[in-house]
Amino acid sequence: MRRSFWMMIWLSALVLHLGAQTPSPATGKPATGLVWDALTKEATAKAGETDIPFTFAVTNHAASRITIERVDTSCGCTIADIPSEPWPLEPGEGGLLKVEFDARGKSGTLTKTIYVFTSTGQTELTIKVHLPEVPPSTTRDNSERVTNLMLASKNRQAVFQGKCITCHVTPTIGKMGKELYTTACGICHDAEHRASMVKDLKTLTYGTTKVHWEHWTRNGKPMSLMPAFEQKQGGPLTEAQIKSLVEYLSTSKEFPSNVTIPATPTAKP
Question: What residues make contact with ligand HEC under the rule CB under 6 A?
Answer: 135-137, 140, 145, 148-149, 151-152, 158-159, 163-164, 166-168, 184-185, 187-189, 191, 193-195, 197-199, 201, 204, 213, 216-217, 221, 224-227, 229, 245
Q: How far is the CB of 76 from ligand HEC (least distance, A)?
A: 23
Min CB(195)–ligand HEC separation in Å: 4
If the CB atoms of residues 78 and 182 are measured against ligand HEC, the closer one turns out to be 182
Closest distance to ligand HEC from the beta carbon of 205 (Å): 9
What is the torsion angle, in degrees rounded to the nearest 10, for the CA atoms of residue 157, residue 160, residue 163 and residue 165?
160
Q: How far is the CB of 207 from ligand HEC (least distance, A)?
A: 6
Strand partners, 66: 89
What does the alpha-carbon distance between residue 22 and residue 117 come to, in Å, rounded to a whole number? 10
Find the shortest distance in angstroms from Cβ 169 to ligand HEC: 10
Question: Other C-beta atoms within 10 Å of 120: how many?
Answer: 18
For the chain, state the CA radius of gyration.
24
Question: Which residues contact residue 8 at a Cβ distance below 8 angstroms, ignoring those fewer than 6 apart?
Answer: none
* C-alpha closest to that of 116 among 106, 131, 127: 127
Residue-by-residue DSSP string for 131-150: E-SS-HHHHS-HHHHHHHHH
Residue 75 vs 165, nearer CB to ligand HEC:
165
Which of 84, 139 has the CB closer to ligand HEC?
139
Question: Which CB, 99 or 180, lies closer to ligand HEC?
Answer: 180
3-class secondary structure per residue, 62-127: CCCCEEEEEEEECCCCEEEECCCCCEEECCCCEEEEEEEEECCCCCEEEEEEEEEEECCEEEEEEE
Helix (H) / strand (E) element for 59: namely strand 51-60
CA–CA dist 167, 240 (Å, integer)? 21
CB of 253 to ligand HEC, least distance (A): 17
User: Cβ closer to ligand HEC: 66 or 184?
Assistant: 184
Question: Of the two residues 43 and 198, which places its CB atom closer to ligand HEC in the complex?
Answer: 198
